[in-house]
Every structure is written in structure tokens, then in C-alpha cells.
Structure 1
Amino acid sequence: MSQVSTGARSVEQRHDLAHVPLSPPSRTSGVLEVFRRRYLLRLLVRREIQARYAGTAFGLLWSYINPFTRFVTFYVVFGLILGRGLGIQNFAIHLFAGMVLVNYFTESVTAGTRSLLSNRGVITKMAMPREMFPVASMLVSLWHTIPQLLILLVACIATGVWGDGPLWVPDAVGMGAALLGFVLMMVYGTAFGLMFSCINVLFRDFQRIVQTFINMIPFTVPMMYPYYVIADGERIPTQYTQLYVSNPVAEAVMLIQRGFWYPTCDGPCATMPNPNGDGTLIPAPNFADHLFSRGFVMLGIGLVLLVVGQWVFSRLEKSITERL
């Protein structure tokens, strides 16, 4: 009899789950959990890519058409009509190299801001880390940047083969600079995507506010004009130069230009009028001083911003589902 009662108590204990702590159906360790679920992340990325080109006649070809038409517009207006390309060797490469990173960053932030609202059906039906959606948007934007990089690579090679400059040969320092520029935009794009996506759910007009500032970015980086326009102190007071180069997007643009545009130059990449007014041209600064050290400092700041973005996301996440 005692053995039966003992067995009954053990069975009762096994089925008594009151002592087991409750846990959410999806683990909540933030961005790290997103990359632990790489299979699900790949599915989301593939789904978003397919949805973007669903029903279109040209499909992936639009990834080449859109950046090419934007490049032609900027080149004609700023390079030919306004003459911003005067004194800059291979101004087209200078412009397009900057466009690649600017397009990637702006698309990443814009898509990340809308990511939770765009996937509201999935969020309300499936248990998964919600950070996955801004991260997936960043990766989709990176995937769309690959065609632009291929165009840039072909243009650099063609400049050396058919142009007057030297044959374009990638160097380790230049490729490291370009890679650092991309990593900067990945970190900052993800950080802003995490913060802005939650805020956009709670305040639906926020994505339009973000878009307003996004439209200003191409004009705040040395892409459609050379860096010396900012550094010479004639148009902008020198005390604002440090503020200008503290822009992580401007830093990333100069880094990718160091990797792709700088090796195409034969002699000084840019020249400017001599300050003594004798009408001669002198070599102009191509990039800001301490380009690499500033880049790594901005990377550290970006990682801190990513932690802040994760914290903001975690604080606002509880209010997301009921507002979707």
C-alpha cells in the first residue's frame, strides 16, 4: 500500500508544473537570438526579396535600372550642368561610389522603420524574435547593393582600360577601407532600424519624418561635390568641418571612395584654385584627416548605439502587438 501511495505521489509531482518558471514561446536575447535562428532569417529575407519583385516584368533587373538612372541624373545635373566635377578625376566613379553606400544606408533605415508594420500578419501569428524583421530588412538592402557594387567594379576596370588613368588594381588598404564603410552602415542601419521600427508602430507618422531626413543625406556627404569644398573654409566656416566629418555616412562614403575611386587617379585625384589667387591649381585634400582612426571610433560608437537600439526595442516591444 505504501509503495502504491509513493508511486502516486511521484506521478503527481511529475505532472505538477507549478514549480516550473514560465518562459516566453520565443527566446528574448535580442539581436543575438536572430542570428541563432539563421534558417528563419533566411526565409524572411527570401520572402521579402520575392515580395518586392512579385508581379513585375523585369524582376531583379530593377536592382540595376534604379541605381543607374539615379546615377545618370546626379551626374548630368551636378557633373555636367553645375560643373561640380571640375577638378576631380573620374568624377563618375567618385559619385557612384558614394551613391552605393548612401543608397544602402537610406534603404536599410527606411525599410527597417517600416519592417514591423509590413510584417504585422506574421508577428501576430508566429512566436519569433521581433528583432528579426529590422535585421532582415537590413540584409535585404545589403543584397540589393550587390548589383550596384558590380556596376561600380566594372566602371573602375573600364576607366583603367579605356580611360586615361592607370589600370585599376584593388589594394588591401583600399578594400579594407571599403569594407569598414559597409560595416559602419550595417551597424548604424540596424541600430536605427531597431529603434525606429518600434516608434513607427506607436506613432504612424514617424516613417514620414524619417523619410524627410533621409532625403537630406545625399547632400550632406562628399558625393556630388569633392571633400575640399567643405575643408577649404571658403563656403563653410572651418569650425563646422569637424561636425561635417563626424557624420558616419560621410565617413563611410570617403572610406568606399578610398577603395574604388582613389586607385583610378593618375596624380592628384582633385585639384583646387591656389588660395594666393594666381589662377594656378594645387592638389586638394581627397579625404578628411585620420580617415581610418575616425572610422574605427565611429564603429565603436555605432556598436554602443546598437546596444541602445536593442534596449529601446525591448522597452517598447510589449506595446507592439496590441498596436499592430
Structure 2
Amino acid sequence: MRYRGSVLGIVWSYIKPAVQFLVFYLALGIFLGLEKGLQNYSVYLFSGIIVINFFSECFSNGARAFVVNGALIKKIYLPRQLFSLSTIWVGIIHFLPQILVLIVACFAVGWHPDLKQIAAAIAGIVLIMLFGLAAGMIFGVANVFFRDSENLVDMFLMMATWLSPVMYSWTMVAREVQIANIEKIYMTNPISVAVELFHYAFWQPTLSIEQQQMLAEQGNWYMFPHLLTVWVPIALVISLLLLMIANSLFRRFEGNFAQEL
């Protein structure tokens, strides 16, 4: 549906993240000098961008799923959760070309992941799917009754991009924000955990041992402490709890969908 009548079709799945990457790389990597503090900053940046793009697809499409399919909801009965679930598959379709480009770029700069890092990438994908599905379903239900919800989605997506370590290192949060344990509060955001998982899986294996030691000496640790053992389980629990809340809201208000739409 998205590419109906489009000349380039699914090629837009490559063009849009490429333009997004170039803008951020020039503005932050070159003009603000973040490239000097992080080795292979281009890989660091793009691995975070595709996570945010994947979440954006799942969240924004999920928030519109029931309204967009209002005609079907009013005419026939079918499990309406399928509309939310379908947005995850659409997100995956647009995510695959981006991760393919990332993998090629990583190999070009000496990517050498181990099984733990590959598993971390898979965990990051699953985490975004769960969190995106939950957030999309909550706002999808709200959007049936309050159309202003779509504007809130755009605002939250902008916040998610800047409140996750996509374009900067997580160490800057603890260094620049003088609040006790701010970095731990920061990591209760499942998106931040997923971005760090992708950094661990794709960016960190492109660094040499010397580069990792240099970053450590500068205070720019390449992985958040206890990421795999503590923060991934916490993020999964938060995402699953949010999904349970989303499903509860859906079941409570589902009966009024046809009437409101």
C-alpha cells in the first residue's frame, strides 16, 4: 500500500535511512566532532538509526492500524489484534534492507562478531518488536477515540530518537547530566537497551583491541555495564508488562471500535 503508484517502490527503504544517516553524520559526526571521540562512528550511528527506524515503523503504523482498517472492522468480524500484529511484519520488511546494508558496511571495516554478539542483535530485534507492538496497540486504541493521538506519536518518536544513544555515547549522559544514577534511569527505556545491543553486536566487533583500550581510557566504554545480564531482562519485563496493559485496554474498548469508526 505504501508504495502504490511509486516509481522507486521499496528502494525508498534504502533512500530514506541513507539520507537520515548523511544528515546526522554531517551535523553530529563532522560539525560537532563526535566522530573524533568514537572509532567507526559511521557504523555506530547507522546501527542505532536502523533500530529507531524499526521502532518508528512498528509504533506509528500500530497507532494507525485500527483507524486505517476501520472499513474492515465495521463490515466483517475477525481477530482485530491481527491489525496490530501485521504492522510488525511490515516493519520487518522495511527493516531487512537496512540491516543488510549495515552488515555489508560492517564487513567492510573488519566486522568479526561472536555468537554472543549475534544473539544480542536478535535480542534487540525481539525487544523492539515487543515494545513497538505494545506502544502501537495502546496508541491504536487511543486513536480510535481521540485522533490527536497521532500527533502525540510523532512527538514521542522525535523524543525516542534523541533520548536513546543513537547519535552519542551513553557515557555522555552520566558525564553531562549531574543527576545521581541518571544513566540507570536512562536505560530503563527499552529502546536504549535495543540500541546498545546493536552497538554491541555490530559496532564493537569492528574495533581492534587497541581501539577498545583507547576508548576505555577516555571513559567511553563500548558497552553499558551488565547490559546482557541485567538490562536486557529488565527491558523485556517492561515490554511484556506494557504489552499486557495494551492487550487489556484493547479488550476493554474493542466492543466500541465499530461505533467510533
Deviations 1:242-290 (A, max 9, x none): 11111110111000111000000012348569xxxxxxx6352122211
- Deviation string 1:186-214 (CA, Å, 9 cap, x unpaired) is 11111112211111010011110121111
Aligned counterparts of 1:103 and 1:87: Cα–Cα separation in 2: 24
Residue aligning to 2:221: 285
Alignment of 1:150-161 (within 5 A): 150-160=100-110
Q: After the TM superposition, which residues 145-184 of structure 1 pair with which residues of structure 2 at under 5 Å, given as runs? A: 145-160=95-110, 168-184=111-127
SS at match of 2:77: coil
Is 1:319 aligned to 2:256, yes or no? yes
- Which of 158, 179, 188 in structure 2 is aligned with 1:246? 188
* Distance in 1 of aligned mates of 2:191 and 2:65: 22
User: Are the structure 2 counterparts of residues 228 and 76 from structure 1 closer, same or farther at C-alpha, using a change threshold of 3 Å?
Assistant: same
Please, which of 258, 266, 281 is the counterpart of residue 200 of structure 2? 258
AA at the equivalent of 1:176: A
| Contact 1:188–1:305 under 8 Å retained in 2 | yes
Measure the CA separation in 1 of the matches of 2:31 and 2:19.
Answer: 17
**SS at structure 2 position matched to 1:99:** helix
> C-alpha separation between the residues in 1 aligned to 2:63 and 2:33?
36
* CA-CA distance at 1:224 after TM superposition: 0.8
1:78 and 1:84 in contact (8 A); partners too: yes
Q: 1:211 aligns with which of 146, 154, 157?
A: 154
CA contact (8 A) 1:87 1:270 kept: no
Moved over 6 A (4+): none
Alignment of 1:1-324 (within 5 A): 51-160=1-110, 168-231=111-174, 233-266=175-208, 267-269=210-212, 282-293=218-229, 294-324=231-261
Q: Is the 8 A contact 1:230 1:241 kept in 2?
A: yes
Amino acid paired to 1:91: Y
User: Secondary structure at the residue paired with 2:218?
Assistant: strand
CA distance in 2, matches of 1:189, 1:269: 32
Q: Deviations over 1:206-226 (max 9, x none)?
A: 110121111111111112111
One-letter amino acid matched to 1:320 = F
Q: Is the 8 A contact 1:268 1:283 kept in 2?
A: no
How far the C-alpha of 1:60 sits from its partner, in A, is 1.0
CA distance in 2, matches of 1:99, 1:241: 20
TM-score (ref. length: structure 1): 0.77
TM-score, length of structure 2 as denominator length: 0.94
Q: Between Structure 1 and Structure 2, whose CA radius of gyration is higher?
A: 1
Q: Structure 1 residue 228: deviation in Å?
A: 1.6
Question: Take 1:238 and 1:286, find their aligned partners in 2: how far apart are those partners?
Answer: 21
**Distance in 2, Cα, partners of 1:271 & 1:318:** 59
Shift of 1:300: 2.1
The percent of aligned pairs where both chains have the same amino acid is: 35
Q: Please tell me whether the aligned partners of residues 169 and 220 of structure 2 are also in contact (alpha carbons under 8 angstroms).
A: no
Higher RCO (CA-CA < 8 Å; seq separation 6+): 2
Q: Report the RMSD for the aligned CA atoms in angstroms.
A: 1.6
Residue correspondences, number: 259
More helix by share: 2
SS at match of 2:37: coil
Q: Which runs of 5+ in 2 are unaligned?
A: none
Cα gap change, 1:63 to 1:114, in 2 (>3 Å): same
